[in-house]
Amino acid sequence: MAATPLVELQDLTKRYGDGPVVLDQVSLAAQPGDFISLIGPSGCGKSTLLRLIAGLSPLTAGAVRISGHTPEQAAAELAFVFQDPTLLPWLTVAQNVGLPQQLRGLPPATRRATERRVLELVRLGDRAGAYPRQLSGGQKMRVSIARALSLSPKLLLLDEPFGALDEMTREHLNEELLAIRQLEAWTAFFVTHSVAEAVFLSNRILIMSANPGRFHAEIAVPFAYPRTEATRLSRDYHDLVTEVSRVLRSVEPPDA
Amino acid sequence: MPKRLLNVLLPAATGALFIVIWYAIRFSIGEEMQFLLPGPGEILAAFRDNGDSLARAALNTTEGALLGFAGAIVVSAALALTLSLSSLVRVSLYPYLMMLQMTPVIIFAPILVLWVGAGLKSVVVITFLICFFPLVVNTTQGLISTDRNLVELFRMYRASRRQEILLLRVPAALPYFFTGLRIAATLAPIGALVGDYTAGSSAGDGGGLGFQAIIYSSQAKYPALFATAAVTCVLGFVFVAIVLSLSWLALHQWHDSYERADA
């Protein structure tokens, strides 16, 4: 491919102290516009990988490059969506969404405009004045995503953001996430335990194996975007879910 | 029956029962011993007869309690912030904070009188010492108990240390702070009274409720003594009511200790 990769991992290795190797010489190039899902058994280091890309944790060996820079230098270009909504309970929805800009010292007027824009994106414009505890689990997660989008990142790192939600809510949010991406065009790394979710969202699925964490296989998802409810009903979609599940089972440690 | 009505009727019934038992005891101990347990009527009369001195004493005690309480809030907030910044400082100071709490302040009252003089100053210092501990312990606990995920979020957005403290740790510590404040508010009037009792001074009408209690007991004015206790009790209720209102203002919108505004 001719385009320069947005994210480049070179022989990335991570080890906590003298403990076991969590990630072992992982290499990858993500092109702008990629939606890459990371899936694998627990302990395969998929969340660790995300944290390394975000610069939240030091790497043991190898290199992470984001548009040619280190994660620290590229901090302004990336946003992280945690497993929990991690909203500040004493701030309103709008104030939570404006927090990253506030921390960056942007003036209130700019913040207000951004708050309105991203809350509209996640269809929570009418809940701007609510406090987090007045929201449902799915709504909280949408606020969390809106907050991540508030700095218009080029790279979005999502660590199992919908893992705690019920199936219906999760499917709705999957569709919403893709709809937003049609407008915003960011690149995404998405950690998940759900094969169906990975197939629906991504154009590339990386299946990881554990002990030590490595890329076991990559599966391309050929379906064109925008994807909708109809995608989920198609035969091809089901076949691919089956195939990914099969590969995933081959790396899962056998149950006792 | 609506719950709200029950919430008024039940305590009222308890109060009525209490007064009945009170009179029953008075009746059973016989007339010559009844001075030991004045009836509500006598106590009300004592309020009327000693109104001026009680009111003046109550004002003096309130002043001592307020100053000591306010001082404890300011100093404990500053100390809690310092303690929260470094676990080394925390470890070095904590045993001595505990020591301060375990030491009965009253023992030092005589020497305190020599240091700062009898009267308001001593009362303020004693109130301060009594209120200080629950405030500093709770506030520190709050400042270091910030949700790890939220701390990580702030690090992720490259927040400065100052931003992390002002925008994250301090608001997150508010519920803990108010818990400490509630305890300190019940202690403040009692602290001021005890301070006054042990290190008070009547110079320039400066005596508080503690001082007044000494006078009444030396004059065997037992109904007035009960009246003094009642005034202190009311003062405590006022302090707690103010703190509860402040706590409500600061927390009811978002904190789980208050019911959701709309479910």
pLDDT, mean of residues A32-53:
93
Which residues of chain A does B158 touch, with a Cβ-Cβ cutoff of 8 Å?
A: 75, 103
pLDDT, mean of residues B202-209:
79
The two three-digit tokens of residue A47, written as one number = 């969340």
Comparing CB atoms, the residue among B149, B156, B256 nearest residue A54 is B156
Q: How many structural domains compose chain A?
A: 1
Are B176 and B141 within 8 A, CB to CB? yes
Binned at pLDDT 50, 70 and 90, residue B258 comes out as confident
Residue B57 to residue B34: CA distance in whole angstroms:
27
Q: Do A88 and B168 touch (CB under 8 A)?
A: yes
pLDDT in tens, B18-66: 999 999 998 898 888 888 889 888 999 999 999 999 999 999 999 999 9
pLDDT, mean of residues B53-82:
95
pLDDT of A174 higher than 50: yes
Are B251 and B175 within 8 A, CB to CB? yes
Q: Tell me, what's the pLDDT at B67?
A: 97
Residue A248 to residue B224: CA distance in whole angstroms:
83
Residue reference for tokens 């939240």? A56
- Higher pLDDT: B36 or A157? It is A157
Q: Tell me, what's the pLDDT at A177?
A: 94
Long-range contacts of B250-254 (CB under 8 A, 24+ apart): B250/B174, B250/B178, B251/B174, B251/B175, B251/B178, B253/A90, B253/A131, B254/A89, B254/A90, B254/A91, B254/A131, B254/A132, B254/A133
Residue span of the structural domain in which A95 resides: 33-55+75-251
Which helix H or strand E contains B19, and what residues bound it?
Answer: helix B3-28
Residue in A closest to B173 by C-alpha: A90
Residue B102 to residue B105: CA distance in whole angstroms:
9
3-state secondary structure of A36: strand
Do you know the residue count of chain A?
256
Distance from CA of A39 to the nearest CA of B (A): 22
Are B192 and B131 within 8 A, CB to CB? no
Among B157, B178, B252, the strongest candidate for a mutation testing the A interface, having the largest count of A CBs within 10 A, is B157
* Model ipTM over 0.90: no
Do you know the residue count of chain B?
263
Distance from CA of A89 to the nearest CA of B (A): 6
pLDDT, mean of residues A35-58:
92
Q: Is A161 exposed, middle or buried (0-12, 13-18, 19+ CB in 10 A)?
A: buried
Residue B224 to residue B84: CA distance in whole angstroms:
47
- Of all residues in chain B, the percent with pLDDT exceeding 70 is 98
Residue A169 to residue A156: CA distance in whole angstroms:
21
Residue A229 to residue A251: CA distance in whole angstroms:
30
Instruction: Read off the CATH number of the domain in which A149 is found.
Output: 3.40.50.300
pLDDT in tens, B92-106: 998 998 888 888 888
Q: Tell me, what's the pLDDT at A95?
A: 97
Q: Tell me, what's the pLDDT at B263?
A: 41
Among B156, B165, B166, the strongest candidate for a mutation testing the A interface, having the largest count of A CBs within 10 A, is B156
Q: Tell me, what's the pLDDT at B262?
A: 47
Phi and psi of A66, rounded to 5°? -120, 115
Residue B90's CB is within 10 A of a number of other CB atoms, namely: 15
Query: For the whole model, what pTM was predicted?
Result: 0.87
Fold of the CATH domain B43-251: MetI-like fold (1.10.3720)
Comparing CB atoms, the residue among B154, B167, B254 nearest residue A89 is B254
In A141-211, the DSSP E strands lie at: 155-159, 187-191, 204-209
Distance from CA of A88 to the nearest CA of B (A): 7
Among B148, B150, B151, B153, the strongest candidate for a mutation testing the A interface, having the largest count of A CBs within 10 A, is B153
Comparing CB atoms, the residue among A75, A84, A132 nearest residue B158 is A75
